[in-house]
Amino acid sequence: MGRHMTEAIVAEAKVEPGMRVLDVACGTGEPGISLATLLKGTGLVAGIDVSSQPLQMAAKRARERGLCNIGFQQADVHHLPLAEGCFDRVTCRLGVMFFADVPFALSEMRRVLKPGGRITLLAWGPMHQPYFESTIDVILRTVPGSALPASGQQMFRFGEPGILANALAHAGFSSIEQQLSVVPWSWPGTPEEVWEYFQEVTVPFRPLIDAIPGNQRTMVSAEVLASIRRYYDGGQVNFTATICLVSASAGPRAA
């Protein structure tokens, strides 16, 4: 589902042969793998994530593609075990929303960038878009007393234009470019599969899903599936995703 998001952040990063790239919150490998592929065996891509399990899948995927210019390491963006000024690019796809201390994390990302290096961040736009309206909004409407948990609210903390750009400016970045874009977000399968997938992987909404009373689960699922089917063409579910894509430059550090 995230292929078009990956393509968007990779295009915006504008990597060139020989560059060193840090991909933060890389999960199972993207966009780091795509960036390493684009570098055609030159440079280096370092992918980091706080969780070790997805990094094992990322390393496996890189090996399957024969990539020798990418490596993965468990690390926290708030305490990067990396030297100052060692990367030309820093990327992060759908991770910045969950940083515990956004200003400090951005300062760490700026620290490891070379002067003039670029950071590119991709975050979810507003909640009111097809994927979430067909799932979370349905639960909120049909289950009396339900509310969006704080972890779910974090998903959309940069959904309003300017918020993420302002955070980068306060962290010392310059030449900031921001766009709110709509990209395809399609599931190559049935509505039932989308709903099952959503319940399995969307950890920020887990408290809301778990709080659905047992005697209402069948009804909620039926309502969700009816909503998802509006986007089903018989072969795949054709959602779109509204994303916030921001890039900025790291200027010279103070002496």
Residue 49 has pLDDT above 70, yes or no: yes
Q: What local confidence, expressed as pLDDT, does residue 9 receive?
A: 98
pLDDT at residue 254 is higher than 70: no
Digit-coded pLDDT (tens) for 61-80: 999 999 999 999 999 999 99
Mean pLDDT is lowest, of 97-106, 128-137, 195-204, for 195-204
Write down the pLDDT at residue 251.
78
Give exposure, 79-113, as e/b (b: 16+ Cβ within 10 Å). ebebeeebbbbbbbbbbbbbbeebeebbebbbbbb
> pLDDT tens for residues 2-30?
999 999 999 999 999 999 999 999 999 99
220, 228 Cβ separation under 8 angstroms? no
Q: Return phi, psi of residue 246, to 5°.
A: -130, 135
pLDDT for residue 65: 96
Q: Which domains does the chain have, with CATH numbers?
A: 3-250 (3.40.50.150)
Question: What pLDDT sits at residue 252?
Answer: 73
The answer to whether 40 and 68 are in contact (CB under 8 A) is no
Q: What is the mean pLDDT of residues 52-61?
A: 96
Contact 47, 20 (CB under 8 A): no
